[in-house]
């Protein structure tokens, strides 16, 4: 949906468009976000509509440039809010320079703010090349090889102490990945940070025994849970965390796919759940997952489902 390119006032140069947007729907019903963005000269550079499910977040790529301003007009359910934002940050090659956070609240109001990377944004490229050597071992006649070869040379320190379990069964009750034909062939990722007892309502009651025991055994006074869900592929190719590093703003988990010879013949979502000691600050949780010898993906808890086309 939205307007066509001929309706825009200016064709924006996409160079340095390293500020993304995130649409947060805190209400109990799906909402349509109508967003128009103008540059400092008042020229319309973006105008579109996005459907965002109840309680979900939808990412929007490339809405602004560092050291420039944008006027953002948002209408949700008949409520309109307009804010002029100054993006007073410096561009760094390969990194996000921040986020325009657009929130439709439970009270039916619209909020528009800019969040620099230092206070919530990961500041990382969505997809990048792993910064360590990866060599794919051959499958022997018996089909044996280390299934964690994608992160064999990944650093294990520094790391918080953690336990993890992975599954190809359902984990989340009413959120996360949902297969449809439009997503077939795409890679999708989703992360959730569970920090208190109330968050357990987000877990499906039929979660498998091993993962369920890990979740139920969490002491939220001293521990938290990070779940990373991926799709779509073999149920045997589950995600695995190699380390979980404490950061100034929370935690950053690093890992890879478990990829053995052969494997199951199904196509499904896969989830890893890690329980780790509660960091001093807990404003964000980032996952960096190597899914191919040439590529790793960065995604955050709270940013919604991330879809990558063409890789």
pLDDT digits (tens, 9 = 90+) for 132-158: 999 999 887 655 789 999 999 999 999
The answer to whether 302 and 250 are in contact (CB under 8 A) is: no
Q: For strand 223-233 and strand 268-277, is the pairing parallel, antiparallel, or unpaired?
A: antiparallel
pLDDT at 277: 95
Q: What is the pLDDT of residues 194-208, one digit of tens each?
A: 999 999 989 988 787
Task: Please tell me whether the overall predicted TM-score, pTM, comes out greater than 0.85 for this model.
Answer: no
Contact between 86 and 114 under an 8 Å Cβ cutoff? The reply is yes
Tell me the two tokens of residue 129.
């090349």
CA distance linking residue 307 with residue 120, whole number of Å: 20
């Amino acid at each position: 949906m939205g307007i066509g390119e001929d309706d825009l006032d200016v064709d924006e140069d996409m160079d340095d468009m390293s500020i993304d947007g995130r649409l947060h729907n805190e209400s109990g019903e799906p909402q349509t976000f109508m967003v128009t963005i103008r540059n400092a000269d008042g020229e319309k550079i973006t105008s579109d509509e996005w459907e965002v499910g109840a309680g979900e977040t939808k990412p929007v790529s490339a809405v602004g440039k560092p050291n420039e301003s944008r006027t953002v007009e948002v209408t949700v359910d008949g409520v309109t809010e307009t804010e002029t934002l100054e993006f007073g940050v410096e561009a760094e090659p390969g990194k996000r320079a921040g986020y325009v956070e657009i929130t439709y609240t439970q009270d039916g109001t619209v909020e528009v703010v800019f969040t620099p990377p230092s206070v919530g944004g990961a500041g990382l490229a969505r997809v990048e090349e792993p910064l360590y050597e990866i060599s794919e071992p051959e499958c022997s006649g018996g089909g044996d090889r280390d299934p964690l070869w994608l992160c064999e040379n990944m650093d294990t320190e520094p790391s918080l102490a953690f336990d993890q379990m992975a599954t190809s069964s359902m984990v989340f009750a009413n959120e996360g990945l949902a297969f449809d034909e439009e997503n077939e062939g795409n890679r999708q990722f989703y992360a959730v940070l569970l920090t208190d007892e109330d968050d357990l309502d987000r877990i499906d009651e039929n979660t498998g025994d091993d993962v369920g025991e890990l979740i139920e055994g969490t002491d939220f006074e001293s521990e938290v849970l990070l779940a990373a869900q991926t799709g779509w592929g073999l149920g045997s190719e589950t995600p695995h965390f190699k380390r979980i590093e404490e950061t100034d703003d929370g935690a950053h988990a690093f890992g890879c796919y478990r990829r053995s010879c052969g494997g199951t013949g199904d196509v499904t979502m896969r989830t890893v759940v890690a329980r780790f000691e509660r960091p001093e600050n807990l404003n964000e949780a980032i996952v960096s997952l190597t899914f191919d010898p040439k590529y790793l993906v960065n995604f955050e808890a709270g940013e919604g489902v991330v879809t990558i086309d063409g890789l």
